[in-house]
């Protein structure tokens, strides 16, 4: 099971204008180089009349798969700055394309680096990034007299219940980070003097967005 790392969950766009040149950044979640290449091609077709569509992508937990392109801009002035923004943010499984409409004024190498970096940052700012986390669903079955203690422990651990069913007993489902499973189970068992039943599901990758759990 992989460790925690940030991924792009939902793509977005951002725009920057520098000396009449228009820089449009677009992001897309991708998990393979083929997906990244297909996304770059879609952007090229969308902005078919633009002079440049420079891009970078980073894939995998360790970010070992990386690629960037200046697409006709001077070497190291476009693709590399975009890649540096992605690496600086620590986000993975992302492709970011910055489209440039030339405004007739040369920016120089320093100006290009700043413009492409700034556009990339705007694109990420308008995207949704989540932390991918390995975990398991814990099912806790208890008497009504124990539910207050369980809810208190979950609140202290900053874990929100996925579902709570009230029948003859109370059944609470909660997504727990892999590294916290043992300690949480021990704490709930101790806090209720063993008067609960606890079962743990299969390993999954999940993230939190808007206070809700999403499975990845």
Buried b (16+ CB within 10 A) or exposed e, 22-56: bbbbbbbbbeeeebbeebbeebeeebeebebbbbb
Instruction: Enumerate the H helices of the chain as residue ranges.
Output: 33-46, 79-89, 108-125, 147-156, 181-191
58/114 same-domain check? yes
Instruction: Tell me the per-residue pLDDT of 162-195, one tens digit each, with 9 for 90 and over.
Output: 999 999 999 999 999 999 999 999 999 999 999 9
Tell whether 18 and 108 lie within a shared domain.
yes
Question: Are 43 and 54 in contact, with CB atoms under 8 Å apart?
Answer: no
The pLDDT value recorded for residue 3 is 82
The domain that contains 92 carries what CATH number? 3.30.230.30
Residue 1 binned pLDDT confidence (cut-offs 50, 70, 90): very low
Same domain, 56 and 122: yes
Examine the domain organization and report whether 84 and 154 are in the same domain.
Answer: no
Instruction: List pLDDT tens digits, range 37-69.
Output: 999 999 999 999 999 999 999 999 999 999 999
Query: Are 118 and 173 contained in the same domain?
Result: no
- 160: CATH: 3.30.70.240
What is the predicted pLDDT for the residue at 39? 98
Looking at the fold, whether 153 and 116 belong to one and the same domain comes out as: no
Number of domains composing the chain: 2
% of the chain surpassing 70 pLDDT: 99
* 143 and 66 housed in the same domain: no
Distances (CA, A) of 12 to 3, 31, 120: 26, 17, 11
pLDDT at residue 160, as a whole number: 82
- Of the candidates 100, 126, 152, which is a domain's last residue? 126
Alpha carbons 131 and 196: distance in angstroms, whole number: 31
- Do 119 and 141 sit in the same domain of this protein? no
**Domain boundary pick from 126, 160, 185:** 126
Q: How many CB atoms lie within 10 A of CB 147?
A: 18
Token pair recorded at residue 65? 């798969």
Helix pair angle (79-89, 108-125), 10° resolution: 40
* Domain C-terminal end among 76, 95, 126: 126
Q: What is the pLDDT of residue 212?
A: 87
Residues 56 and 103 in one domain: yes
Domain that holds residue 167: 135-215
Facing residues of 82 across strands? Answer: none
């Amino acid at each position: 099971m992989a460790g925690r790392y940030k991924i792009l969950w939902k793509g977005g766009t951002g725009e920057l204008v520098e000396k009449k040149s228009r820089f449009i950044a677009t992001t897309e979640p991708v998990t393979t180089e083929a997906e990244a290449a297909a996304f770059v091609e879609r952007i090229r077709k969308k902005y078919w009349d633009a002079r440049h569509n420079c891009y970078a992508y980073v894939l995998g937990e360790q970010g070992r798969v990386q690629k960037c392109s200046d697409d006709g801009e001077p070497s190291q002035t476009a693709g590399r700055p975009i890649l540096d923004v992605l690496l600086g943010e620590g986000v993975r499984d992302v492709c970011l394309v910055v489209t440039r409409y030339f405004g007739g004024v040369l920016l120089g190498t320093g100006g290009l680096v700043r413009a492409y970096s700034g556009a990339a940052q705007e694109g990420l700012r308008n995207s949704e990034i989540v932390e991918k986390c390995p975990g398991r669903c814990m099912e806790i079955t208890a008497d009504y007299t124990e539910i207050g203690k369980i809810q208190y422990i979950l609140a202290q651990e900053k874990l929100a219940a996925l579902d709570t069913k009230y029948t003859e007993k109370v059944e609470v489902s909660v997504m727990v980070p892999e590294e916290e499973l043992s300690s949480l189970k021990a704490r709930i068992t101790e806090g209720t003097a063993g008067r609960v039943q606890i079962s743990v599901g299969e390993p999954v990758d999940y993230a939190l967005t808007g206070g809700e759990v999403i499975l990845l």
